[in-house]
Structure 1
Amino acid sequence: MSLPAGFTATTDAPLPLHAVRKPEFADWCAAQPAPVQAWLAAQRFDGSAGSVQAWADGEGRVAGAVLGIEDPHDPLAWAHAPRALPAGDWQLDGESDGNARRALQLGWGLGLYRFSRYKQAPVNGSRLVGEFDAETFDLLAACVRVRDLVNTPTEHMGPDELETTARAIAQAHGASIATIAGDDLLVQNYPAIHAVGRASHRAPRIIELRWGDASHPHVVICGKGVCFDTGGLDLKAAAGMRNMKKDMGGAAHALALAELVMARQLPLRITLLVAAVENAVGPNAFRPGEVIATRKGVSVEIDNTDAEGRLVLCDALTHACELQPDLLLDFATLTGAARIALGPDLPALYSNDEALANDWLNAGMQARDPLWRMPLWRPYLRYLTSGIADLANSSNTTMAGSVTAALYLERFVDEGVRWGHVDVYAWNDGDRPGKPAGGEAQGLRAAYAMLKARAAG
């Protein structure tokens, strides 16, 4: 197994890294050599969560360090370590269970991450020493995949580049892949995807990747791939448009989850569908008040061209249901309303299946990758009523924006198909340990844990 930077399996003399919870710190400290006790007391170190303190030997060389940890099974509890510790090779000291060791390894990797495509990341001299878990590194790679895709500006991560990424993943894992792009979307009956993306100089497309044994349960994973969202003719203000390179965050999650399932060889059959467009302004941009067709045959009146993600997803979800999957999942940076309701860290989960929702929520709690379930409150469909079409894509009320967006999507999910939808932010607004500013994977590890448990029976 090839190890990423910041990890090493062998070293001559690793430095001891201690981890303590604040309630146990006094007892732990009392068992340390007197000079260490004196140094920690002088530094007023008390084992508070997120704290680090190193000490030196009699010759001034770094001799050890202690971390304040609140929940050893939470990767983010360890994420402050690699950038706070002095340079050196560090090995966790003392007894720890397997879940804690895996959390340390994942948290260490998340804490080291910096997006470095355009700017060299600061050199970090600390490495973690140990016996490493391959699944943990695959999880780390999936999180890094999401972060890198979302962080890359649209000039270098448009529909073409999303397709190139999907093709590289397919080739690496022996999957098949096909794309329908441009006016062929009309020929092949993906009119909503075409309508949203037609104003861009980059052709809209739907990317379809297939992998797995036909005898295994079939999971379709859909991702909203709006590579940049101006808002269309309902143009966003500058502040709202600034970070819209991240509007393909749903596609990034879908790609990373499919790649993770394939890397771990889960006994599942996967179909990945990414609707990749750029919502641009141009002479042929779709307009407010127009009625557009959809693959399902449902006519949609455009109330707001900035509610475009649900338009590209509705064609993808319709095709997904045609495949008669055992499970249908979608990820989308769909609404600001979800962020108003739950904040930036907590993705909103919607599902038409109680068992699926409970499994996903429980997996999120176990993996320390939480989601929060929101209601498919069907009386709010009245907010999507159109006088001239079957459905409106948005409403003129600010109420229940995330709920109505999910209800819109549900209209394109066939009865009997078990479906889960995640309205995800895919972004960190500021720097925190393990959560650097920029693109972020949210609900991804939970989705993998849920699928792994279901694949196991």
Structure 2
Amino acid sequence: MTDFAAMLAPADGQPAVPLIPLAADQLAAWLAGQGERVRTGVAAQGFKAAADQVAMIAGDGPSDWLALAGVATGALGPWALAAAAQKLPPGRYALAGELGQAGLGWCLAQHRFTRYRRAEPVAPRVLTTTSLAAIHAAVPEAEAVALVRDLIDTPAGDLTPADLAQAVIDIARPFGADVRVVTGEALLSENFPAIHAVGRAASAAPRLIELYWGDAAHPRLAIIGKGITFDSGGLNIKPTSGMANMKKDMGGAAHALALARLVMQAGLRVRLHMLIPAAENAISGNAFRPGDIIATRAGKTVEITNTDAEGRLVLCDCLALAAEHSPELMIDFATLTGAARVALGPQLPALFANDDALASEYLAAGASVGDPLWRLPLWAPYQDMLKSEVADMVNSADGGFAGAITAALFLERFVPAGLPWLHLDTFAWTPAAKPGRPKGGEALGLRAAWAMLRSRYQ
């Protein structure tokens, strides 16, 4: 893991190049107070203080250099200094003003996924600041986001359900958390039939991964993440274009594990119960089929109308198990539907909640940390789309209407009335690189959840 703690440091008076964030409407006033050398350097580089624009102004001596970073007006957001961290030469920089939330992007802009290629070592860009609290907040969040990215970017051949279980064990060990893994045929004997049905066709056996941590006397918090390590679509096989990025279908599990790590690292006053149903949706002679009727832990039967709607099946067993322990709050993360992406695009996760105040709390937390969400309704009349003639429900409604909503309504059937529940349908992917956010796996909705939990339980 990248040493993010080495990239942010308290100001200590040691030599450093001043880094000055400037919004476009501040540039003229700032230039008016500078000497001719600085004004000439700014003009020569065409620096207009546009967001993500960076300039280095040479000085007469090493102590006279300046670095300028174009930013948006207002407090520094998470990605305000990410471009500067990517473009400036390695060295030590002293931030002028408050760090705000910009430590996250400063750190993550320097993170690389290097498991499969040799990378030349690069000295870090170190940012010094007087904002000590911002440093303490940024480093664990950067570690959590990097964990999500690295897990998602790992190909399915190297991140099987067994590998995902080992990742949970490795994260749990330093915090003294307990991990329980139910594997293969044991899923049937322990009443997780839906997880077994989805994963039984793969050569790597499916698993239920549970993590327990914290004082049993504290409020119980359930965090669940969809862990489909690769999704072929099953017998309703995806086309090539739809299968290309399906290593990311365990993105919900990556979010859940990263959030659990943040909870344990901060010592929140909760009894944490994290659940990951890990399986590969593969094709073989014993793959589950369209028309099959499968059982679930909750006792409800499901007619399979589409084997590519498997995420909700593995999640329903985990929702039922978590609900048996009556948590104070239950959150699930899942790369669940293409319909959510059609509606909201790649940057906005779809949020569903069975409690208006809880939804508002999550949305406000996301706005406060620059991790936006958009709420979609649990529109009860659409429950009719899930009716089956031969079972309690179908797993996928006919037609293309309201796909994200009907998927959420399916999950809601496994949440007891009155149990506060949040469901995040997240893309977990950046399709086009931006400063601090390379193309590939991404944490979307994670920091919003963390801000909400920190506010509630710290």
Indicate the residue corresponding to 1:369 in structure 2.
371
Q: Which moved more, 1:163-172 or 1:277-286?
A: 163-172
Indicate the residue corresponding to 1:190 in structure 2.
192
Indicate the residue corresponding to 2:116 in structure 1.
118
8 Å Cα contact 2:259-2:446 kept in structure 1: yes
> What amino acid is aligned across from residue 80 of structure 1 in structure 2?
A
8 Å Cα contact 1:54-1:62 kept in structure 2: no
> What amino acid is aligned across from residue 104 of structure 2 in structure 1?
L
Cα drift, residue 12 of structure 1: 4.3
Indicate the residue corresponding to 1:80 in structure 2.
83
Indicate the residue corresponding to 1:22 in structure 2.
24
**1:244 corresponds to which of 225, 243, 246:** 246
Indicate the residue corresponding to 1:159 in structure 2.
161
Deviations 1:108-160 (A, max 9, x none): 01211221111134654451232552332111111011001001111111110
**2:93 corresponds to which of 86, 90, 95:** 90
Q: Distance in 2 between matches of 1:123 and 1:166?
A: 29
Could you tell me the TM-score, scaled by structure 2's length? 0.95
8 Å Cα contact 1:304-1:393 kept in structure 2: yes
- Number of residue pairs matched? 450
8 Å Cα contact 1:102-1:136 kept in structure 2: no
Q: Distance in 1 between matches of 2:120 and 2:320?
A: 46
**1:334 corresponds to which of 333, 336, 345:** 336
Q: CA RMSD in A?
A: 1.7
CA 1:59/1:13 → structure 2, altered by over 3 Å: closer, same or farther? closer
Could you tell me the TM-score, scaled by structure 1's length? 0.95
> What amino acid is aligned across from residue 129 of structure 1 in structure 2?
L
Say whether 1:104 aligns with 2:102: yes
8 Å Cα contact 1:90-1:126 kept in structure 2: no
Structure 1: 5+ residue stretches without partners? none
Q: Distance in 1 between matches of 2:214 and 2:61?
A: 59
Q: Which moved more, 1:114-123 or 1:144-153?
A: 114-123
Say whether 1:181 aligns with 2:183: yes
Q: Distance in 2 between matches of 1:421 and 1:27?
A: 47
8 Å Cα contact 2:88-2:125 kept in structure 1: no
SS at match of 1:76: coil
Cα drift, residue 192 of structure 1: 0.3
Q: Distance in 2 between matches of 1:108 and 1:74?
A: 11
SS at match of 2:76: coil
Q: Distance in 2 between matches of 1:355 and 1:452?
A: 17
Residues 247-266 of structure 1 correspond to what in structure 2 (within 5 A)? 247-266=249-268
Q: Distance in 2 between matches of 1:72 and 1:145?
A: 27
CA 1:129/1:76 → structure 2, altered by over 3 Å: closer, same or farther? closer
Cα drift, residue 211 of structure 1: 0.6
SS at match of 1:271: strand
CA 1:406/1:3 → structure 2, altered by over 3 Å: closer, same or farther? closer
Say whether 1:143 aligns with 2:167: no
8 Å Cα contact 2:350-2:426 kept in structure 1: yes
Q: Distance in 2 between matches of 1:208 and 1:152?
A: 22
> What amino acid is aligned across from residue 319 of structure 1 in structure 2?
L
8 Å Cα contact 1:253-1:331 kept in structure 2: yes
Indicate the residue corresponding to 2:352 in structure 1.
350
**2:204 corresponds to which of 196, 202, 205:** 202
Q: Which moved more, 1:213-222 or 1:113-122?
A: 113-122
Cα drift, residue 58 of structure 1: 3.6
Q: Which runs of 4+ in 1 moved over 6 A?
A: 59-62
> What amino acid is aligned across from residue 215 of structure 2 in structure 1?
D
Structure 2: 5+ residue stretches without partners? none
Deviations 1:249-298 (A, max 9, x none): 00000000001000011111110000000000000000001110111111
